[in-house]
Amino acid sequence: MPETSSAHHELEHERHYVAGLYQRLDELREEKREQLAQVRRSHSAGSHQNRSERDAFATMYEDRLAQLNAVDDRLVFGRLDLDDGEERYIGRIGLSTADLQRLMVDWRAPEAGTFYQATAFERQGVRRRRHLILKGRNVQAIEDDVLDYSMLEEEEALQGEGALLAALNSKRTGQMSDIVGTIQAEQDRIIRAPLAGTLVVQGGPGTGKTAVALHRAAYLLYTHRERLKSAGVLLVGPSNAFIRYIERVLPSLGETGVVMSSLGQLMPGIAAVPEEDANVAEIKGRISMADVVARAVANRQRLPLEPRKLNVEGTILLLTPKMVQRARDRARATGKPHNEARVTFVKILLRELTEQLTEQLEESSGAGNSTDRAYLAEDVRSSRDVRVALNLCWMPMTPQKLLSELFSKPGHLEGAAPDLSAEEIALLRRSPDAPWTEADVPLLDEAAELLGELDASAGRDHALREEQRKRDLANAERAIENTEGFLEDSGAHGILSAEDLADHNTVGETRLTAADRAAVDRTWAFGHIVVDEAQELSAMQWRLLMRRCPLKSFTVVGDIAQTSSAAGATSWQQALTPFVGDRWTLEELTVNYRTPAQIAEAAVRMANAAGLVVSAPKAVREGRWAPFIDRVPDGGLVDRLMETLPEDLEALEGGLLAIIAEEHHLEAVRREVGAVYGKRLGTGAGGLEQDIVVTSPREAKGLEFDGVVILEPEELLTAAAGKVGDLYVAMTRPTQRLRLIAARPVPAGIIDEED
């Protein structure tokens, strides 16, 4: 359709305005570069305190510069035309002129909310919502939603085909894109929900659960900056591939302070692998395993069966069961973790043994002889017999050592888990050098909580560091008060906090953000936790996360119908009630933005035929293709795959294609596909050069692809112990095209019998 003069005028107007926004962005970048250079030039002069303060400013400018660089792509995406004549531009961050005239509103600001919430029925003062579609820094097109019908009669009114559909039909790149320009009203309501409490976001495939979770994290950090900047936000995903897939979204929204972790990385220093045996994962995920770990710790605080003779410099002392029990009871009464309570246990027994040695030596040398008790105490402490005996009674332990011995040494597990059957105990047995699995992580965390620090002085050191931290903050606040003039001149007034400054004032330490510190500190208490694919979490994994956020401030997103883990939840009530009672609210996403209607309907029919009741969110668009179903003879899966790959790749026109199959197929598939397509074959969510991915249903969870090929769909049902989740997940990953290749019978429901 030819462009009208009015449309051309509007487009040129937007191009001019957007060019001005980018000019201002470049000015701010240059300003921060100059301020950073100025601060760096002055680093060598002044006292240590002055150098620390300048380091703080340097880091602040670096952070601000990184933020300004991250928002260059689609800096601005919308405009509101209001009843009072104001034109309000909406973008990734807020921008103002040098004299503080507002140019653009941050999408998270309250006054930007109407961009997502206003409708023709509830205009909220909005006459027109305009979507600006940018390529690079240039406005390519305008899409208008006219909310005030009187504007339809005006010459300048424009309407387009829809920014949302344009975004949905775009090709996947291997990295998740934000949806900040196309957030829909039901999504926006959830994103802007209050911080307190536990919010559950239930949504079927393609409803934008992950996007909502990420945008909510960015919104909460913006709205509750003071609270969350120091405590931090944790985002938990199902796999490392998922974390790589989403890692660029938050920086593009102006946020870099979120700790992102897969379930296997929640214990610092442990990089866990998936638990291969579903039955083992189910057992380890039971909440009763917390009692098993507690018994395993208690069982390492042993009483000897009979008195033990100890040789201390030629003198024989007697360590009796009653002595050990008395010391153990007093140590346990302190309420301290195992390793810290051990200090009390050892002190009591060393004192009693020293008294025993003193009495024996005084008796042997005559009543009038007084023995140097300090010297004797050192003899007792350094005696090999004493050290061995005390360690046998109460050995200091690491979580790794405790669990390794629990699962590998005969008798340890039987003693700690009386409620497990012989078959279950046999399933849990493993080699002491076996890698840690995701199901082990919450058990390791539980053990760490019960054992405490291996170095008993660590607790005291932590308390001292906290006291020093308070003093550093007080000094930093005074320093900021004394440098108001410098802050004004440098543009840092109101931006640099006392905490930022205090982080620089420790000799020899590099400034760490809250996110940096939290990522390596198991005991860190986060201000908020976002959990994606939360239906997969076991009770023990929930227990771990609840410990990480004592305030129970959570955003929980998932779909119960997609549960594939044997330890996962069958309802949100089952998952959450043991930890938060009834203090959680449920929101549901009802629109499928990703999956074409033909594919979404086939997935729902399959799930229903398998006995699973699933929500069926309405798909916003029809696809070009119904699912393709190829039946092949036994052993013909890979051959048929290689025959159809060229056709599927050509149809996707450069889009991303995933081949999803059970683990035992993957090696052969990668070998055959790699031999033909070479570097085009990737992993996870692919990449700019890798447009073919070979993956398992578990690794595909949370990801999306332009096209998907599923090998032997019936296996995805049987391999998941009868759970529909794996096949349901795999079928709902594509945005365009789905093919199923089967040698076994195709699961019921996939084929529409009415067609």
Binding positions for ATP: 203-210
Residues in contact with 409: Cβ distance below 8 Å, sequence separation at least 6, in sequence order: none
The single-letter code of the amino acid at 6 is S
Largest CA distance in the chain: 118
DSSP 263: G
What are the E-state strand segments in 83-148? Answer: 87-91, 95-96, 102-106, 126-135, 138-146
Q: How far apart are CA 657 and CA 682, in angstroms?
A: 10
H-only helix segments in 180-288: 185-191, 209-223, 225-231, 240-246, 249-252, 278-285
Dihedral angle at the C-alpha atoms of 44, 46, 51, 54, nearest 10 degrees?
-90
Q: What are the structure tokens assigned to 253, written together?
A: 């929204």
**Closest C-alpha among 490, 269, 517 to residue 399:** 269
Burial class, 374, CB count within 10 angstroms (exposed 0-12 / middle 13-18 / buried 19+)? exposed
What is the rounded CA–CA span in Å between residue 529 and residue 242?
A: 17
Phi and psi (nearest 5°) for 337? -60, 165
In sequence order, the 6+-apart residues with CB closer than 8 A to the CB of 490 are 35, 38, 39, 57
Residues placed in the known binding site: 203-210
Beta bridge partners of 200: 556, 586
List Cβ<8 Å contacts ≥24 apart for 379-383: 379/312, 379/313, 380/312, 380/317, 380/350, 380/353, 380/354, 381/350, 383/310, 383/311, 383/312, 383/313
CA atoms within 13 A on the CB side of 38: 12
For residue 667, the number of C-alpha atoms closer than 13 Å in the C-beta half-sphere is 1
Closest to 665 in 3D by CA, of 694, 689, 693, 640: 694
Distance from C-alpha of 107 to C-alpha of 215, rounded to nearest angstrom: 10
